Chain A
Amino acid sequence: MHKARTLIILLSALLLVAIPVVAQDKAQLTPPEGFTAFDTPNDIGNSISLVWRASASNQEGVNYIVYAAPSETGPWIEQTRVLSTLGYKSDAPQYFGLAKENESWHFCEITGIKKDINDENPLPVTATTYFKLSVSNGIDIIEFPGIVSAAPAGNWFDTSKLNVLIFVSIFSILILYFISLARKNPNLFIRHIPGLDAIEETIGRATEMGRPILYLNGLLDMSSLSTIASTSILGKVARKVANYDSQIMVPCYDPIVMSVCQEVVKESYAEAGRPDAFKEDNIFFITNDQFAYAAAVDGIIMRHKPAANLFMGYYYAESLLIAETGVATGAMQIAGTDAITQLPFFITTCDYTLMGEELYAASAYLSREPLQLGSLKGQDYSKGFIILVLIIGTIASTAGSAFFINLFRTF
């Protein structure tokens, strides 16, 4: 009897302590404000965005619960829970920009509608969908007063890429302006590129030695700009080879590149007035396995001992294997690549190396065609513009202003 009385007193005491705690938590929960649904900007048209102002209830353990329904009358299905301390508009600058106030608005992107909370294959959002929002602390739930709705739609312009569009337009206009200028004044000065000036010398050397020239296009396919640039250079080189009555070998990594190279070399021989000297068998496919290709090219270098090796295009780890084998045979080597990681290897093993943009400039440089040279001039002025931007950016950043840097931010 005494024990029972003690137990009742203890339980009563616990109850008295617990009631104010619950009451306090309940008092802290305030309904979210400014709950809005809208089509997610800058997207393909498969999601709806929900935003609401961060409530005063925000703290550890407080969640926002999002419900969705196909109509205003329901049925309402819980879709997701957003932790009150996470999920802000500032987390999605690609949609909302970098405004400071984004830090005080919650954001939730709905890309699919669940049939129940555990549904792992939600249906895509295609039509107008209705949403409700609640805030919960695990004990109580307070609902946002009102239902919002939105329908997804694909957008015709990605505003987060506006800065890219502006700067690409500036550079393009500059380049096109200099191309048009080159029409009027074809005598543009372009600095000498020793690696390209040496091509003639290498071909002459190969002719004198009676050995072939080896030309590689790199390891990318025809959709890569470096491969396109490489095939353009091949055309110019092949014409000189045809003029010198020398031989060129082009082992290819990709069958389409092989076909293009065959056509390019064939045309070059025809333009040089020596179509009969063209040998299709000299442009052949090896394999599209990186190290098997390197092994095969090494074998060709060791067996045929080309007098000159030209490596133009994009390379990976095989660059050193190939170029170092070329050094062992005493060949004169010229490389051109936009693969930054492979540049040190080529610089170490080749007599001349075209770095990055020089690969793209090579065909214009070799052709000496005014319009192409004009584009190089425009490219140089664009670089001047970038240098100016870098100086201003450095000063602005040092002064503590993020505005200028944010102009160039991409999402």
Chain B
Amino acid sequence: MIKRQIPLIIAFILGFWFIIQFFIPNQFSQDTLIGVNKWTVMISGISMLLGIYSLIHFHYTSIKRGAPGWGFSVVLFAAFFLAITAGFLPSIVLWFKDVPKDGPPVKWLGFLPLITGLNEGSPLFWIFLNAMSPFMATMFSLIGFFIASAAFRAFRARSIEATLLLISALIIMLGQIPLGQMLWQGIPDTMVWIFNVPTTAAKRAILFGIAMGTIAFSLRIIFGIERGYLGGGKDKK
């Protein structure tokens, strides 16, 4: 009972306060917002430990059970420990270098700012530049091919809507290239009209719906009607 009531009370008080807070510009109001944002960042940072535990546990179990694709889990562990080593090692070396040989490690606090190790020229930076960036770029560039295959399916004129989509897409594609203007001067103008009138109208209609949905959903959370995010609820089966 308490497990459910306390989060609902917190949601009500904070939800209601932050609606009012939006209309109050003074220092106290801004301080509460900044305070909550700081807490959010702190909790997010701490929660990363939870994420790392989950990641290790999932892939360890995957290797142990010999689940399909367990080899990828081995690669993950290798990359994980390599990145950690690359991040910490230079800092540790620097730390020991600074410590006087015949005295206690008085500079231990100086170790803290160094632990990120993502400075230019560091091993972790090298990994980021030569592995992470190309991997990310590869994934992103795949979108081009995926768009082509998705467009091929979407542009099959099976219905009136799909035919309209096909025609609009053709005009927009032609309007973006010199060939379109060569075929007919009006194609670029038609493209701009499609962007500015029907597309904008549809976007705004969806945005109005989202805004209304946001208000209704927020009110449901604030007044404790929507409890699904807490797990379970009084919903009918």
A interface vs B, CB < 8 Å? 42-45, 154-158, 161, 164-165, 168, 171-172, 175-176, 179, 221, 223, 225, 228-229, 231-233, 235-236, 239, 254-256, 258-260, 263-268, 270-271, 281, 284-292, 294-295, 299, 303-304, 317-318, 320-321, 324, 327, 338, 340, 343, 345, 347-349, 355-361, 363-364, 366-369, 371-372, 375-376, 378-379, 382-383, 386
Contact = CB atoms under 8 A, between A and B. Distances in A.
Name the residue among A236, A265, A291, A368 with the largest chain B CB count within 10 angstroms. A291
Nearest to B22: A161
B143 interface: yes
Nearest to B142: A321
B69 interface: yes
Contacts of B221: 228
Nearest to A360: B213
Contacts of A265: 231
B50 interface: yes
Contact of B153 (A286, A340, A348): A348
Nearest to B155: A348
B190 interface: no
B235 interface: yes
B231 A175 contact: no
Interface residues of B, number: 70
B58 interface: yes
Nearest to B25: A158
Contacts of B220: 364, 372, 375
18 contacts: A44-B27, A165-B23, A221-B44, A231-B229, A255-B51, A260-B229, A264-B228, A271-B232, A285-B50, A287-B55, A291-B139, A304-B68, A355-B206, A360-B217, A369-B235, A371-B225, A379-B216, A383-B209
Given A360-B210, A383-B208, 12 more contacts: A154-B26, A154-B27, A171-B212, A172-B219, A231-B229, A255-B47, A255-B51, A256-B43, A256-B50, A317-B143, A320-B147, A320-B150
Nearest to B237: A239
Nearest to A165: B23
Contacts, number: 224
A383 B231 contact: no
A235 B232 contact: yes
A328 to B, nearest CB: 9
Given A158-B25, A320-B147, A267 B51 contact: no
Given A236-B228, A364-B220, A284 B25 contact: no
A281 B57 contact: yes
B61 interface: yes
Contact of A44 (B26, B219, B237): B26
A252 to B, nearest CB: 8
A255 B216 contact: no
Contacts of B237: 239
Interface in B7-62: 19, 22-30, 40, 43-44, 47-52, 54-55, 57-58, 61
A217 B153 CA distance: 26
Interface in B198-237: 203, 206-210, 212-221, 223, 225-226, 228-237
Contact of A372 (B44, B154, B207, B225): B225
Prevailing SS type, chain A contact patch: helix
A353 B214 CA distance: 18
A338 B223 CA distance: 23
Contacts of B149: 324
B140 interface: yes
Interface of B: 19, 22-30, 40, 43-44, 47-52, 54-55, 57-58, 61, 68-69, 72, 132, 135-136, 139-140, 142-143, 146-147, 149-151, 153-154, 203, 206-210, 212-221, 223, 225-226, 228-237
A130 to B, nearest CB: 23
B25 A357 contact: no
Contacts of B218: 225
Nearest to B219: A175
Question: Top 10 closest A-B pairs, CB basis?
Answer: A232-B228, A154-B26, A267-B231, A255-B51, A357-B213, A360-B213, A291-B139, A367-B235, A267-B232, A357-B209
B173 to A, nearest CB: 14
A258 B142 CA distance: 27
Contacts of B47: 254-256, 259
B28 A348 contact: no
A263 B27 CA distance: 37
A299 B215 CA distance: 37
Contact of A340 (B22, B203, B235): B203
Contacts of B22: 161, 164
